A and B are shown apart, each in its own frame.
Chain A
């Protein structure tokens, strides 16, 4: 297959091998070393997409990250990916891409009607219309949404893998152009741990786009060699295809390395991309500069390109981006482009230079070499053509207006250079200030962090010899600042042409008075007229300009448009450019896949799972597992044919009537010891602890300093100066931190040590009338009688070397014990209890049955302790210590906390045998019109198999008043309301006989 626009010689592509690829269904060929863009151009494909708003045909403008137009959708199926810049997609065999934002085809696109209607669709038109009729916005919006957007999201999950990785270095160099390479060499040679990253597949930056020699070697070879040297230096790391996309605090630079995007698939166990979290002590930014277009009517026609891009395609890819070119520039680099184009066989008709004096001597020589006419003091005032540029109009100008008579030049390629913008994105992200340099007509880095050093074109140096030397300086400076002794600087030879200064030219004069759109932002279809409209309507702050017109808000983030846009705004307002200023540079420098940012902690690995020692047992026993925070807990153990409700009722009955065991390993457990442990506990709970005897347990309540209940649990005095606290599962971490804070920061004088032993101990609870028998059997006959182990007491037993703590406490209200045993033995003990207890009928039960039984007993959990409740709401004030200080005490006296209308804790019983809906509120008359007053709300609800009734716990205002009366538990969401009787919250065994029995 022929590639009609591939030059016969030259280029850095591998002509020996051919790669086949598809674009919009058609098959083409390219070579290794091509990007999708260069391969398309080699095949003469000039229209590659449609623009965002007007759906205009667009071609390739740039050659790298700056590309605004050539966005394609890559591949199909699960690996499809929208909005990729064809200029950065490396070609591989079998690559398939399609154009975007067109329907049905790129050539015939219905959306192009917008272009016809465009005069009715200026910037921000949608703010002024679509308001009538008022209810129709959603309909208009439906069509607006369909018209907007670019590519299509994949529908399937991503088959590829991504990882992140932390790394540390002394000197990070971003950019492997001439400046970056010399900087990295200087830093690495002085002994600094150096990392060099570059966006491209190959080092060299601009050296790959221009036939310059460094040290008498072709630039790209010099760069490749420099990279080899770097790779060989100890402690040095080089990452290519790696974009530094964000600067973060304390010089953490995030770099996305595309490991496998140049391949059809990553291959087994190979990540596709990796994000490096690089912590650097010094950051050298050698990010180069990006060429800027000029705004004039017709400047968005396919075939109008950046001069450096056209030259780059010619030199690097041996691609002719046209047959007959005109170069339009305001600086010398356009002349060099002319020479390079000529070298690749492109005819260059003219170099149109806006500067009255034209280019420097070297530049003029370039134009002569290219055989191009030099037209100075002139501009391209318009480009014309159907489907692509066919001719340009050239006219003189006097800075303010066009002058003289226009001249038409036929051409199929217009190369534009409006000057260069240093790539200051990362510098700005690093809080560096910019300065407008009028001589360069560009924003350049000004004051910044000490640790961030710019060099080369990123700092506004355009000459190669200067860039090389500046990189060297930056690398040495970075290393020296860290105490490394820089090695002697090598002498380098490179061209040092004399150049004429750039002239500020953002927009060709008189653009406003002529027909034809002059684009500022190609991707978002923002024209110069839009910028002026924004000014007229007083959206004249650069930030308003951006948001009103969407200038610079596309996937290229205004790389080619922002400066022109703000300059046109400045001109319109008659202000200086620095007064208008830039918008904020934000990460990412270039769009980064979610997959890469997310790394491996996605899907099931988004958060880890915590497992109790009995986890596998529960799963094997067929338990339904449930997420509780990070934990998984056994919810219930269904038998065949049983519904959840059946299983839970059975488990509850079994505990109430016989005996059951439940895994309570998830409770937080804290070892609190030291001479002042009791004192400490008194300060962090509402309870008294000085008088607690060793071997006894106490229910404790902990408050936040604002008086609200934080958590509850039991605390056991193991020895005089050793306490063992349990917390709820959910609050374990928060409680530990809270206690550590008070021990370390508030009362450091207390001699107390806190150790989390949550994972040291597995826990199980045995409950039911036969609990003691089961326990005794399981504990080899240890004495667990009422005398040895009375209610709310604890003892330590060691059986066969297994250390256990047995607590006579209960959550279910039955005779109950908790056994905490060293975790690696927990499963053994659990199995032993089941084994030894089989004769007594022991069976496992889950958290759901536990929840039902605690509701029957009126015990509170986080549903009641919702962070808005205080001790008095539950009658906990009765156990509150009367004297002394504790966390939260002082906040309790507040007006609202003693107000009689506060909601207090009650029980509810359904009056009609119907369930009390979860999440219901208590109302007087559920059919009354809304909004209506609610008297309280249901916190926990269940069917109680024990009472054969639907019961619930609730918080209700003026509880004393309501007890004994009825209200409705209303759930309008479920269209249900249940009449409920308001009772005491303890439904079952209120005297607590069973637990003590």
Chain B
């Protein structure tokens, strides 16, 4: 029997519970989430235990009262892109559809730690997009104005204002990329990526969701044009509805249902330095130099750049991209030169043909896709889960994700923030 309406009595996290447990040697902390055996059937099966899948399950239970949900994860939850991203959260978009959706997500971020009773360390330290020419300044103005008119915070900074906020940035006029100014979103920032997965998992689990790790979906069963369940490395699991939420593996999962997607999987790398005392307060991105940089709470400087620019499922990239990101970083922040790279890694991005995600129904009944997140799905995590849960629960999109359908490509309603066209690697 599915435990409908079931809410597990979880130990609330607080200073007090921490103190109480300290006295007993922390021996009484319960599991953050259970690891149950999969049942034979669920009302909803979510494939993919990343932030989006877990958030979908959480909001299905919380907002739509659907508790008979399993999240199937082929490895360990949060081990996909959720666990390997540069954690930038922002809603600084030009196009309305994006702006509305990401702003909704940002608002959810703002109360997420409390909502989940798990500190996801959402740190609104501001995100600055640097402009290096007047032309870029103009296009950032266009974007910032669009944000403001959409009710989103945005501030245009001149060079001196950038310098004040980022003292170690090379703002000299003779720089290869002289800083002309920047667009700041003060409410943007970073969050503790793993905690997002764990927090959603714990909160979903508390509402009865089964989180099943080491369970790879290997097939999707379709009968009479409607989904009936999934085959997994742990056997067949029946499902009333199935949500595919697997980021870089979207194409593979869709193919199991005979569907081709406007998606290519590419590897994106990120890297950290050794930990340092605070030296960078804000998140900085530079389109011209192709890199973004921030400092984590633990003290590492965290960097990312462009894709490796070829299809890949390897979760690792090559040295030329690392070299280029590091060159860009040293060029903009000369102080980095004597710091050291501690670790590099990669994640598999589901790059779409217009750079925007797909959240909606697929051409198989009761089969849904939440994917195509490209570089930018971490910030979408709560918003995506929220919209996806709505879509799955009601079998129709919420107005916020209605523009993000799969058929927009064939109908021409592209949401192409960069204007790069049907070239996934260029978004």
Contacts and interface: CB of A to CB of B under 8 A. Distances in A.
Q: Determine whether A and B are in direct contact in the complex, meaning some CB atoms lie less than 8 angstroms apart.
A: yes
Interface of A: 52, 79-83, 119-120, 122, 125-132, 134, 137-138, 141, 144-146, 148-158, 160, 162, 164, 246, 248-249, 252, 254, 277, 529, 533, 536-539, 541, 543-544, 547-548, 550, 553-555, 557, 584, 586-588, 591-595, 597-599, 601-607, 626-628, 704-708, 710, 863, 866-868, 891, 894-897, 917-921, 923, 930-932, 934, 937-938, 970-974
Most buried by A among B134, B149, B175, B418: B149
Given A537-B29, A544-B76, A150 B339 contact: no
Given A156-B335, A923-B149, A249 B318 contact: yes
A157 B140 CA distance: 29
B18 A120 contact: yes
Given A128-B17, A131-B113, A248 B318 contact: yes
A149 B151 contact: no
A541 B213 contact: yes
B22 interface: yes
A145 B148 CA distance: 31
A83 B145 contact: no
Nearest to A930: B151
B168 interface: yes
Contacts of A134: 111, 113-114
Nearest to A83: B274
Interface in B377-403: none
B340 A934 contact: no
Contacts, number: 334
B132 A919 contact: no
B260 interface: no
B364 interface: no
Contacts of A584: 345
A153 B276 contact: yes
Interface stretch (B1-9, B40-48, B251-259, B405-413): B405-413
Given A132-B15, A536-B29, 7 more contacts: A128-B13, A149-B277, A586-B345, A593-B340, A604-B176, A868-B416, A896-B414
Contacts of B22: 119-120, 122
A538 B33 contact: yes
A921 B326 contact: no
Contacts of A919: 138-145
Contact of B32 (A538, A555, A921): A538
Nearest to B140: A919
Contact of A141 (B33, B118, B121, B145): B121
B33 A598 contact: no
A894 B407 CA distance: 12
B118 to A, nearest CB: 6
Most buried by A among B122, B144, B297: B297
B340 A126 contact: no
A538 B145 contact: no
Contact of A155 (B14, B146, B335): B335
A704 B416 CA distance: 14
Nearest to B346: A586
Nearest to A101: B277
A663 to B, nearest CB: 18
B420 A137 contact: no
The 4 closest A-B pairs by CB, nearest first: A867-B419, A919-B141, A149-B299, A896-B412
A129 B14 contact: yes
Contact of A145 (B17, B83, B297): B297
Interface in B118-166: 118-119, 121-125, 132-135, 137-146, 148-151, 154-156
Given A145-B297, A897-B412, A594 B326 contact: yes
A158 B338 CA distance: 7
25 contacts: A122-B26, A137-B113, A137-B123, A145-B295, A145-B297, A145-B299, A150-B299, A155-B335, A164-B323, A529-B26, A538-B34, A539-B32, A555-B340, A588-B342, A597-B323, A603-B176, A603-B331, A606-B331, A866-B419, A891-B412, A894-B412, A896-B414, A919-B141, A930-B151, A971-B141
B344 A586 contact: yes
A863 B135 CA distance: 9
A148 B35 CA distance: 33
B232 interface: no
Interface residues of B, number: 116
Contacts of B414: 706, 868, 896
Given A83-B340, A146-B277, A931 B150 contact: yes
Contacts of A254: 319
Contact of B275 (A148, A586, A706, A921): A148
Nearest to A253: B319
B297 A246 contact: no
Nearest to B15: A129
B145 A972 contact: yes
A592 B341 contact: yes
Interface string B261-288: 0000000000001111111000000000
A938 B18 CA distance: 55
Interface in B280-327: 289, 295, 297-299, 316, 318-319, 322-323, 326-327
B60 interface: no
B274 A150 contact: yes
B319 A593 contact: no
Contacts of B83: 543, 547
A974 B148 CA distance: 11
Interface in B8-38: 13-15, 17-19, 22, 25-27, 29-35
Given A120-B18, A538-B31, A868 B331 contact: no
B195 interface: yes
Given A119-B22, A137-B121, A550-B298, A970 B339 contact: no
Contacts of A125: 18
Contacts of A155: 168, 335
Given A83-B340, A598-B330, A973-B156, A127 B274 contact: no
A557 B275 CA distance: 12
Given A149-B298, A543-B76, A930-B148, A52 B275 contact: yes
Contacts of A154: 335, 338-339
B319 A252 contact: yes
Nearest to B336: A594
A587 B17 CA distance: 40
Most buried by A among B78, B198, B421, B422: B421
B148 A972 contact: yes
Contacts of A896: 411-414
A588 B413 contact: no
A138 B119 CA distance: 12
A628 B136 CA distance: 11
A920 B323 contact: no
B30 A537 contact: yes
B362 interface: no
Nearest to A595: B337
A464 to B, nearest CB: 33
Most buried by A among B30, B76, B337, B345: B337
Nearest to B317: A248
B156 A974 contact: yes
Contacts of A598: 323, 326-327, 329-330, 337
A597 B274 contact: no
B363 interface: no
B328 interface: yes
A954 B123 CA distance: 38
Contacts of B139: 863, 919
B323 A127 contact: no
Contacts of A592: 340-341
A555 B119 contact: no
Contact of A597 (B76, B322, B334, B420): B322
Contact of B411 (A587, A593, A603, A895): A895
Contacts of B155: 973
B119 A918 contact: no
A162 B133 CA distance: 29
Nearest to B337: A158
A154 B277 CA distance: 11
